[in-house]
Structure 1
Amino acid sequence: MKDLKFLRVIIFTFFALSVSLSYAAPRETVTTNIAFKTSKGDIIIELYNQIAPITVDNFLRHLDGGHYDGSSFYRTVTHQNDNGSPKIEVIQGGLGDIDKPFPAISHESTNITKLKHEDGTISMSRGEVNSATSDFFICIGSQQGLDFGGERNNDGQGFAAFGKVIEGMDIVRDINGMPSNKKTDNEYVKGQMINNPIIIEKAVRL
């Protein structure tokens, strides 16, 4: 009888400990690291699969299909050449004006993901809400105007952040400072199109 009581105590203690550990240990966030291989060096980015699943899945579908290979960083926005408000500093890359291989995705607002547009944040370019496809940008410095509720877009929905540069911000800043007087008929991006775009030779998972 004493043995039975002792066994019950052990079982209860094990159960209580298991429950305690399950609450105490936070779940590990699922991430994927990728690299943009350029003539200036590699830019390595950590993607937040668990936090922004729709946006990351879309990005990886382009990457895994080889669609970013041979694409480029083609636009640089600085406080000096920005034609919007509030002023931002980013570099933009992706497929540009060519036909998109996949349809647009649903917008994952920073109000949902709780991510912020900080130094090194990668986020999706878009016009209207739910119009993002292949193109993206990387922030230089904190860009709060791009978060949900920011004033960069009239709709106030901000942009869909989904990862962060963990190596190669020196390359990002170098691209941000490149000459950008390439001719364009689009007044909004005038003075921002890089004269000699930086080719993304390969985009790969790590």
Structure 2
Amino acid sequence: MLRYTLSLFTIILLIFLTGCQQKPKKSGEDSKPAADQQAVKADSAETKEQDSTARKDTIPENVKVEDTIVLNDDNAIPFFYEYNKKHKENKVKISTKYGDIIIELYRETPYHRSNFIYLTKKGYFNGTYFHRVVKDFIIQGGNSDSRITSGKRSEIGRYLLPPDTKKGFKHHRGVVSMPSSDDVDNPHKLASPFEFFIVVQSPGAYHLDGNYTAFGRVIQGMDVVDKISNLSTDKREWPHESVRMQVEIVE
């Protein structure tokens, strides 16, 4: 009886062990070795990550680089080099409460012309002032104490332009030029791209030649320039009366 019981127990144990060794395959599982399946999963995950990264880094075709770039001292010149090829406009209108000033920008100073056109199209100058007035010398514009203007500068970028003073343009009356940055560390008189000045002095302010880049001239509205030049100012040369501007492309 004991032998019979042991034999029956042995048979049942064998059946149980055999069943455990034959696990059913999960639905959809292929017949590849485990190592190969892991490699496939890893490749798939890497591909998905690369696709996701590519989607993040790709700028849609309808979005221009000039709408997304933040300018700095490293990329500004290459950017304006390409911008100059595509944007040929060279006349702008500055509107003030005293009247309009039409300016023609010199094509011979491509970086400064392109910079002014670029800022105009970005709407930077709108709402800024003629913030510095020196009677019978110059009127200077493009600055403002408002947070909006400061925000525009931050969005456009922080950069300076190298002087372009060897094209033969002198600071005659009516010439538009770009002041150098007032940063202490600026021995080469790199230009502050957000501001400009118009020469009022007659026949010209020739002591500025060679130090500042003349990049345009007033072709209409010097009477308006003279009106602004005659405004009273405080000790900082800021006019007591605010002279806001709106700037747009003429052609």
> TM (normalized to structure 1)?
0.67
Residue of structure 2 in register with 1:124 after alignment: 178
Letter in 1 for 2:220: E
Please give the secondary structure, in 2, of the residue aligned with 1:60. Answer: helix
Mark the CA change 1:118 to 1:173 in structure 2 (over 3 Å): closer, same or farther: same
Q: How many residues align?
A: 149
Which of 132, 143, 161 is the aligned partner of 1:95? 143
Extract unaligned runs of 5+ from structure 1.
1-29, 80-88, 149-157, 182-189
Shift of 1:103: 2.9
* Residues 97-112 of structure 1 mapped to structure 2, 5 A cutoff: 98-99=149-150, 100=153, 101-110=156-165, 112=166
1:135 and 1:96 map into 2 onto residues whose CA distance is 10
Shift of 1:163: 0.3
Which of 85, 97, 102 is the aligned partner of 1:39? 97
Letter in 2 for 1:162: F
Residue of structure 2 in register with 1:23 after alignment: none
Mark the CA change 1:201 to 1:136 in structure 2 (over 3 Å): closer, same or farther: same
Moved over 4 A (4+): none
1:34 and 1:171 map into 2 onto residues whose CA distance is 15
Q: What is the identity percentage for the equivalent residue pairs of Structure 1 and Structure 2?
A: 30
Letter in 2 for 1:117: H
CA deviation string 1:172-202 (max 9, x = no partner): 0110000102xxxxxxxx3511111211034
| 1:177 and 2:230 matched | yes
Give the conservation status (yes or no) of the 8 Å contact 1:70–1:202: no
Residue of structure 2 in register with 1:55 after alignment: 112
CA deviation string 1:131-163 (max 9, x = no partner): 422001000120011111xxxxxxxxx111100
Residue of structure 2 in register with 1:167 after alignment: 220
1:126 and 1:175 map into 2 onto residues whose CA distance is 22
1:144 and 1:76 map into 2 onto residues whose CA distance is 18
Give the conservation status (yes or no) of the 8 Å contact 1:70–1:200: yes
Letter in 2 for 1:108: P
1:109 and 1:77 map into 2 onto residues whose CA distance is 24
Residue of structure 2 in register with 1:66 after alignment: 123
Extract unaligned runs of 5+ from structure 2.
1-87
Q: Which has the higher helix share?
A: 2
| 1:197 and 2:251 matched | no
Mark the CA change 1:34 to 1:131 in structure 2 (over 3 Å): closer, same or farther: closer
| 1:145 and 2:207 matched | yes
Shift of 1:33: 1.1
Give the conservation status (yes or no) of the 8 Å contact 1:72–1:95: yes
Letter in 2 for 1:204: I
Letter in 2 for 1:39: K
Indicate the structure (1 or 2) with the bigger Cα radius of gyration: 2
2:180 and 2:246 map into 1 onto residues whose CA distance is 24
Shift of 1:71: 1.1
> TM (normalized to structure 2)?
0.55
Higher relative CO (CA 8 A, sep ≥ 6), structure 1 or 2?
1
1:126 and 1:57 map into 2 onto residues whose CA distance is 17
